[in-house]
DNA sequence: GTGGTCTAGACCACC
DNA sequence: GTGGTCTAGACCACA
């Protein structure tokens, strides 16, 4: 399912995050064309205007380029993508650490808990 | 600052999370009285009714008990608190892992990045 | 326990009901003296003033008579007591039937449920 | 009249009881939509916030479900409703019996008085 | 037009 | 001074 949104945050923001994630993960490779707005909107179950709004912001950030009458393309600037990836990773890490230490769990225990969790996940497979 | 809220999510939900965090971290120890509604509301810069709504839900969950005309107390049930702590930790971990792997970073790299981050933090001190 | 009050209704009203019930049930027989205010108040865990207020209303209704310097007595008018008993019974019956029919249960089923309940109660003994 | 409340008990509690009664009696059938908050509030002569509070508790109990921007619906779980009906009936019966026996009337007489009352009611028709 | 949230301000019971 | 309730009125997201 692609159409599960946090009902409490603006959908277009969540769409931006999703597309960024796809670019960074390589699902949308650098330089490649992405699906048309309508298709993306359909797949996520949102209004095309909402999807449009999300993509426009990504264009402003330089992550997407638009070729009129052709479509949208992921930037070919792989450094930019790598930078975004590192930035997103740091954001997630910082947030995680902030949250977990607020519970009274120190960094060492956090790593241990995370390692355990990953171990358990593998077992499930 | 205590009064910085994510504008996109209900304040009372965020207040619930904050109080839970304080209980779990031991800032509000088991069996101890917590500050009065009005004071907490003031400290967070919200209306007393909003704080009331948050605390009512914590009472429903058994994390707080109310003694009318006296005040609110953290539950003395330390097992319940420990359970909550584990639950919150797992939630944060699961989320972190979901986010980081969505970027195309595998579990091993996640641990490495986290360890690096912690190392860098210590250096800053 | 005599000191369990519905926190939502005035205590003196609940005291009136209790004393009426004792008169009607014969616990306080007609013409007999009842315990002094302070003792009653103590037994119910309420302030003597509150008990006083309740007894004053019963005196107004003719159910109690006061002999200064001696104490309070239940009325000797057994007809009045019988009338009160019938009246209280009808009140309870009417209320019960109103409540139970509001649930979509007809009078016949109400009698059946009541009979069942009594049967189950006896078994427990 | 829908707007007559016991001044001694919280209105929202009484609203909860009323809605429960309507669900149990079938006035609000399982799976069906109930009137909007504002309408219900109006009909009962209370503030919409007060009605909201009552309905929120019923939602927590699983008796109502909410579809945002659409409305509230009675649960489709007929077993849950049946269970509630039995529970409410038992509560009313227990209370009635407690009250009537406190008057010095035994269970057998209670049934007789109830039967008489019902007989008299029918005659009135 | 639906439910949901929030504020401001008032009043109450209890101790 | 504590928690609890209630109102009036406003604003928001969503479809």
The CA-CA-CA angle for residues C55, C58, C64, to 5°, reads 90
What pLDDT sits at residue C116?
94
Quick one: which H or E segment has residue D71?
strand D71-74
Q: Do C100 and D93 touch (CB under 8 A)?
A: yes
User: Which pLDDT tens digit goes with each residue over B10-61?
Assistant: 899 999 999 999 999 999 999 999 999 999 999 999 999 999 999 999 999 9
Within-domain flag for C3: no
What pLDDT, on the 0 to 100 scale, is given for residue A47?
A: 79
Residues C47, C61, single domain; the answer is yes
Whether residues D71 and D101 fall in one domain: no
CB D24 within 8 A of CB C103: yes
Q: Which residue, D76, D91, D113, sits at the end of a domain?
A: D76
Interval C89-113: pLDDT, tens: 999 999 999 999 999 999 999 999 9
Residue at A43 is within a domain: yes
- Round to whole Å and give the CA distance between B17 and B39: 18
Same domain, C86 and C61: no
Size of interface C-D (CB pairs under 8 A): 90
From the list A21, A94, A103, which residue is nearest B89 (CB)?
A103
Asked if residue C42 and residue C92 are part of one domain, the reply reads no
Q: Is C118–D97 a contact, with Cβ atoms under 8 angstroms apart? A: yes
pLDDT (average), residues B65-94: 94
Do B62 and B108 belong together in one domain?
Answer: no
The reported pLDDT for the residue numbered D101 is 92
Q: Three-state DSSP class for A17?
A: helix
CA distance C99 to D24: 12
Q: Could you tell me if residue A89 is inside a domain?
A: yes
Q: Is residue B27 part of a domain?
A: yes
Is A51 part of any domain? Answer: yes
Determine, yes or no, domain membership for C26: yes
C48-96, pLDDT tens digit by residue? 888 888 898 889 888 999 988 888 999 989 999 999 999 999 999 999 9
Residues B68 and B20 occupy one common structural domain: yes
Number of folded domains that form chain A: 2
The reported pTM is 0.81
Mark whether C65 and C110 lie in a shared domain.
Answer: no
Listed residue (B93, B110, B114, B98) closest to A94, CA to CA: B114
Residue with more model confidence, B3 or B39: B39
Residues 5-34 on chain D lying near strand E, CB distance under 7 A? none
User: Domain check: are D35 and D61 in the same one?
Assistant: yes
D108 and D83 co-located in one domain:
yes
Residue C4 placed within a domain: no
Q: Are residues B48 and B66 in the same domain?
A: yes
CATH number at residue A55: 1.10.10.10
Asked if residue A1 has pLDDT above 50, the reply is no
In terms of domains, do B68 and B35 share one?
Answer: yes
Q: Are residues C72 and C86 in the same domain?
A: no
Query: What are B99-108's contacts with CB under 8 Å, separation 24+?
Result: B99/A92, B100/A89, B100/A92, B100/A93, B102/A21, B102/A25, B103/A21, B103/A24, B103/A25, B103/A85, B103/A88, B103/A89, B103/A92, B104/A24, B104/A25, B104/A26, B104/A85, B105/A85, B105/A89, B107/A118, B107/A121
Q: Which of C21, C25, C89 sits opposite D113 (nearest CB)?
A: C89
| 8 Å CB contact between D66 and D59 | yes
Task: Flag whether D16 is in a domain.
Answer: yes
Examine the pLDDT at B114 and tell me if it is beyond 90: yes
Domain that holds residue C44: 11-76
């Amino acid at each position: 399912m692609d159409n599960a949104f946090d009902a409490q945050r603006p959908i277009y923001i969540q769409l931006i995050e999703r597309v960024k994630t796809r670019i960074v993960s390589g699902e949308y490779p650098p330089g490649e064309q992405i699906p048309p707005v309508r298709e993306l909107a359909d797949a996520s179950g949102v209004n095309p205007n909402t999807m449009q709004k999300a993509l426009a912001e990504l264009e402003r950030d330089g992550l997407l380029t638009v070729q009129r009458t052709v479509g949208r393309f992921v930037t070919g600037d792989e450094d930019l993508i790598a930078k975004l990836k590192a930035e997103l990773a740091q954001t997630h890490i910082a947030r995680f650490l902030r949250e977990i230490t607020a519970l009274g769990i120190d960094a060492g225990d956090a790593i241990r808990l995370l390692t355990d969790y990953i171990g358990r996940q593998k077992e499930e497979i």
